[in-house]
């Protein structure tokens, strides 16, 4: 069974930092590209970042470029998102998600909540 379990969310002041983690199990983690997708309270889905299997290609939505860094440790079956210079508009539930066939996202975690507020 595929499992994606996020952690690391919490309350942080504007300008602060957080590191999100995602523990993957039930599949060969190193063989799959992975995403972070967020959802602000009461809003729609927003893609944040993608990382290809071997760290060779990394992509970000424009609004987080230069502030967020995605990474993975295939030996630990883990995905990370380092978030710096956080803003109120970064407040959201952050999902770890696996890339499936033909650019789809086939598995999602339960999400970890990030709240940026003073």
Partner 1 sequence: SYELTQPPSVSVSPGQTASITCSGDKLGDKYASWYQQKPGQSPVLVIYQDTKRPSGIPERFSGSNSGNTATLTISGTQAMDEADYYCQAWDNSAYVFGTGTKVTVL
Out of 70, 111, 112, 116, which residue is the one contacting partner 1 (CB under 8 A)? 111
Tell me, what DSSP letter sits at residue 66?
Answer: T
The answer to the question of residue 104 lying near partner 1 (CB under 8 A) is yes
CB closer to partner 1 out of 18 and 99: 99
CA pair distance 16, 87, nearest whole angstrom: 8
Angle at 77 between CA 49 and CA 64, to 5 degrees: 15
Tell me, what DSSP letter sits at residue 87?
Answer: -
The answer to the question of residue 47 lying near partner 1 (CB under 8 A) is yes
Min separation Cβ 38 and partner 1, Å: 11
Residue 30 and residue 42 in contact, taking contact as beta carbons nearer than 8 Å: no
Structure tokens at 75: 């030996």
CA pair distance 31, 25, nearest whole angstrom: 12
The answer to the question of residue 23 lying near partner 1 (CB under 8 A) is no
Min separation Cβ 12 and partner 1, Å: 23
Question: Number of residues in contact with partner 1, rule: CB under 8 A?
Answer: 22
**Chain contacts with partner 1 (rule: CB under 8 A):** 35, 37, 44-47, 50, 59, 61-62, 95, 100-106, 108-111
């Amino acid at each position: 069974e595929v499992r994606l379990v996020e952690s690391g969310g919490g309350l942080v002041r504007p300008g602060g930092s957080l590191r999100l983690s995602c523990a993957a199990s039930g599949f060969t983690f190193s063989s799959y590209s992975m995403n972070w997708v967020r959802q602000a309270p009461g809003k729609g889905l927003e893609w944040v970042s993608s990382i290809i299997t071997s760290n060779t290609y990394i992509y970000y939505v424009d609004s987080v470029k230069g502030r967020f860094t995605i990474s993975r440790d295939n030996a630990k079956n883990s995905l990370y998102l380092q978030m710096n210079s956080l803003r109120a508009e970064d407040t959201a539930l952050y999902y770890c998600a696996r890339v499936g066939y033909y650019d789809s996202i086939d598995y999602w975690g339960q999400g970890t909540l990030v709240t940026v507020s003073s």
